Every structure is written in structure tokens, then in C-alpha cells.
Chains A and B, each alone.
Chain A
């Protein structure tokens, strides 16, 4: 969809990258709707998905405005090809069991919470400050909710501990990518539009270490971090997500209701 003539600003790309993280994770979490282990968690997961979707909408709308090429938030969300999505790999990982999904949400929210806090307090970009003002509180809520579950699972039964440990093994090596950012992110950090993501690592590590200590979990060392999402190199699952996400627009182009 991207015309060769359009040169994208670093700001557009960084906001798009953020929007993609939130859309893809929101889509993933929404797959739980009607399938959670109990009613309260079904509501909880659906509400968290809604928060992510709402944040992604604001970000796509702003990205479209920065681009100024006539594309709408829907065009950006629904009409790009797989390699044009810039989300990190963590958010596209399959839901697995409840432990996997809750841990993935904790990893992401523990990163986005200090991210939005920084934006809300320091960003030179007024629109992003506005988005961050709400998002930081919503992410704090996710950290707390998912953190409580990780503790309950890790310090729960033999079976629940086994499951959350398996989730840590499966997902922890996708977390490093959160702090690698991208060239676009780095340029935005120089302009004080967005934080230097590497500086958020100590906060994230402290949050995770604290929760894991209560959950009787070890924070693993990662020898081989998995990366590639920021340059559009995704896992096999990404195509499956897009097949569902884009189905209506691909089948009935320009469909509206």
C-alpha cells in the first residue's frame, strides 16, 4: 500500500510501530473473549483488549495525520501487508494457555507503563502527551492485574506453577526486543518526543523481578533474544492474525457499517 513516492518521517514510523504493538496485542487478547477460565477473567481480558484497541486507534489516527497522505486510521490498521507491520514479536505470540497470555500481558504492560509515564511528563508532542495521560493509568491497571495472577499461578498449585514456568521459558526471550527500539524510535528520543527505550529497562526489570520473587519464579538469562518485528520480519503466526483481522476489508474492499 505504501507508495514509493511517500517518504515517511521518523515520527510517523515510531507512532505506527506503537500503534501496531497495541493493535496486534489487542487482537490477540480479544481472541480470549468467551473462552476465559471464568467470567470475571473473560471480562478482564476483553476489557484489557479494549484498552489496547482504544490506544491503537488514537495512535493510528495520529499516524495518519502526521503522514498527511489521505490514509485513515482504518487504512493503516487493515490495508497493509505483513512485512509493513512494525510490531514487536512478543505481541504476536499465540495466546497459549491462560498463564501464557497473562505473562505476555504483564511483560508488555510493565514496559508500556513507564513508557507512557515518560511521554505524559516529558514529551514535546502534545497529542502523544494526551494519549499517554490515559494510557499510563490503564497500563498500571494491567500491570497490577496480571502481576497478581502471575503470583497466584507461580505460588499456587503444582500444575499452575508448571504452566507459568513454561510460559516464562516460552516468552522471556521475546522481551529484549522491547528495549531495542528502532532507528525511528531513536530519532524521536533525540527530539524528546518519545523516551529512549533502553532507559526503561531498569524499571521493567525491577517490576518483573519483584513480581517473580513473589511468584517463586526465576528471571531467566536470555542467550539468544528474538527480534525482527521492528523491521517487519515476523513469525509464522503473524499472517494468521492478519488473515482474521483483515478478512472483512480484504473480502469486501471498502466495506463500511
Chain B
């Protein structure tokens, strides 16, 4: 990778900042960078190329996210292109610690770490209530309001909440 000019690096940083700030259309409290789905932004022959990876296979927001990232790059004055990256596949472990905290503040219990363990995948670890912090929670439904969430309820504060499925 030959990147001689400093302006190129500046551009890359600026393009990254523009793309990274794009919010998720379904969960607008987190950005594409928080979710770990913006893998990279490069400048190739003067074109800003955003490398974006889809989350869940059936996520209907994939195209909306790609269009939003492209629009953000155009707004920042770049010619833009999106590269869809399939490998390696996204895992909830790529959600940043800040992203997890934003999810919790928004009322969604973030996925537990270690997506490769069966325990994590099936939510057999303790899920704490994003509102009151109690670990006295029960699963209501393995499938929730979107493909990425399961539905829980808190026995302590009696509030229902979404849990971001761990994959």
C-alpha cells in the first residue's frame, strides 16, 4: 500500500470521520463505527471507499446503511463508493465498549462478549436490565422486534426490554 502524500492521509481521516458518524437507521443511538460494521475507509484514485460489512444475514437495513454512508461521504465532498465486505463475518464482539454503553443507555441490553460460546448465543448467561441494572430478568421471546433482538422483561422494575442477540 503506497500512500505517499500526507494530504491523502488527511483525506482518509476526514472520510473516516464522515462515514463513522452515520447512525444505524434502526437503532439511531449507535453509529456504524460503534457497531463495528464500518470496517475501513480508504482513498482509491481520489474516491473514498467505505468497506461495510452486513450484520445479521436477514438485516433489512443493509442497503439503507450503505446508502447513508455513501451520502455522508458525498456530503463531506468526496466521490464515494461502498464495498460490501463478507469475510470475516461480523460478530457482536465488534461492537465497541462505547457502543455497548450507548445501547444500554438507550434501553437495549447489549450482547454479552464471547459470541462463539454457545452460552452467549443462547442467552444463558445473565442478562441485566438496561434500566435498573437488576439481573432478575426473564426471556419472553427468543425473537424480538427486529432480527437482531430478543425480548426480555425485568422482574425487579417490571419493564420490558430488548436484548441485542449475540452472534
- Partner-B contacts on A (CB < 8 A): 40, 43-44, 46-48, 50-55, 57-58, 126-127, 129-135, 137-138, 140-141, 144-145
8 Å CB interface, B5-59 against A: 56-59
Extra contacts, 19 of them, besides A132-B89, A145-B143 (Cβ < 8 A), are A43-B145, A43-B151, A44-B143, A50-B60, A51-B147, A54-B147, A126-B87, A129-B89, A130-B85, A130-B86, A130-B87, A131-B86, A133-B89, A133-B91, A134-B56, A140-B118, A141-B121, A141-B165, A144-B142
Inter-chain CA distance A137–B115, complex, in Å, is 9
Using CB atoms, name the residue of chain B closest to A47: B143
Decide if A138 touches B167 in the complex (CB within 8 Å): yes
Using CB atoms, name the residue of chain A closest to B84: A61
Q: Which of A44, A127, A137 contacts B167 (CB 8 A)?
A: A137
Q: List 17 A-B contacts (CB under 8 A).
A: A43-B151, A44-B141, A51-B56, A51-B58, A51-B147, A52-B58, A54-B56, A55-B57, A129-B89, A130-B88, A131-B86, A133-B87, A133-B89, A134-B57, A137-B121, A141-B121, A141-B142
Decide if A50 touches B140 in the complex (CB within 8 Å): no
- Which of the listed residues B58, B140, B141, B167 has the most CB atoms from chain A within 10 Å of its own CB? B58
- Which of the listed residues B57, B60, B86, B121 has the most CB atoms from chain A within 10 Å of its own CB? B57
Q: Which of B89, B121, B167 contacts A131 (CB 8 A)?
A: B89
Decide if A129 touches B115 in the complex (CB within 8 Å): no
Tell me the count of chain B residues lying within 8 A, CB to CB, of chain A.
26
For A145, what are the chain B residues with a Cβ–Cβ distance below 8 Å?
A: 142-143
Number of cross-chain contacts by CB at 8 Å: 79
B107 interface residue per 8 A CB criterion: no
B122 interface residue per 8 A CB criterion: yes
8 Å CB interface, B93-128 against A: 115, 118, 121-122
Using CB atoms, name the residue of chain A closest to B87: A130
B90 interface residue per 8 A CB criterion: yes
- Which of the listed residues A51, A55, A134, A135 has the most CB atoms from chain B within 10 Å of its own CB? A134
Decide if B56 touches A127 in the complex (CB within 8 Å): no
Give me the 4 closest cross-chain CB pairs, A-B, nearest first: A133-B89, A54-B58, A130-B87, A54-B57
Decide if B151 touches A55 in the complex (CB within 8 Å): no
Q: Which of A40, A55, A138, A144 contacts B122 (CB 8 A)?
A: A144
Decide if A133 touches B151 in the complex (CB within 8 Å): no
For A126, what are the chain B residues with a Cβ–Cβ distance below 8 Å?
A: 87
Q: How far is the CB of A184 from chain B (nearest CB, A)?
A: 21
